[in-house]
Amino acid sequence: MKALKKDVYRDTLPKKGDTKVRRVIDYARLVFNVEFLSVFRVKEMLPILGFTFNRCKGGKEHALLQIFEGVFFVVLLVTVKDMPPDKHVVVYDASYRSGNFRGAILDGDSKTPVKLLDDKDRAWSDGNPSIPNARFVFHSLFPSASSVRLKHAWLMRPLPLVE
């Protein structure tokens, strides 16, 4: 099914305040027949990912970028100066391939360029081997932020069609 961005906005954006993440997930399930599997659901995700997401050395950001297949709905907590953290959603397309790039992060804002990922984005920082480069990858999406942390991620995949 094809939907226009204006239709999605009309159906999910509240008149005041921010869109609730649950509303977007429910909308995608209903309208696009998409299943959302939480990366933190160990029993469901261990056979798919091959590792336990919430126990991966390097943190959640690093764990996410170690996945090379699938499309993920990702909620980030973005903090700017002394403001409380704000939730922001991006999509991580782990299956994207082009030249040396393996993976892409897409933002819903058309002014934000797609972040293409290469092997160094998944590695550990040369300057501090205890910090994975993945943290810098997500922070680069919001250069004025004082902090960008991964709050949650879901693997998205088509639901079987019911006849």
Q: How far apart are CA 56 and CA 51, in angstroms?
A: 8
Residue 2 lies in a domain: no
pLDDT of residue 79: 95
**Contact indicator for 92, 103 with CB cutoff of 8 Å:** yes
Residues 6+ apart with CB under 8 A from 4: none
Block means of pLDDT (10 residues each) for the chain, length 163 residues? 66 74 84 90 88 82 93 95 90 95 89 90 75 88 92 91 67
Residue 149 lies in a domain: yes
pLDDT of residue 138: 93
Residue 28 lies in a domain: no
Domain ranges, residue 100 = 34-158
Residue 11 lies in a domain: no
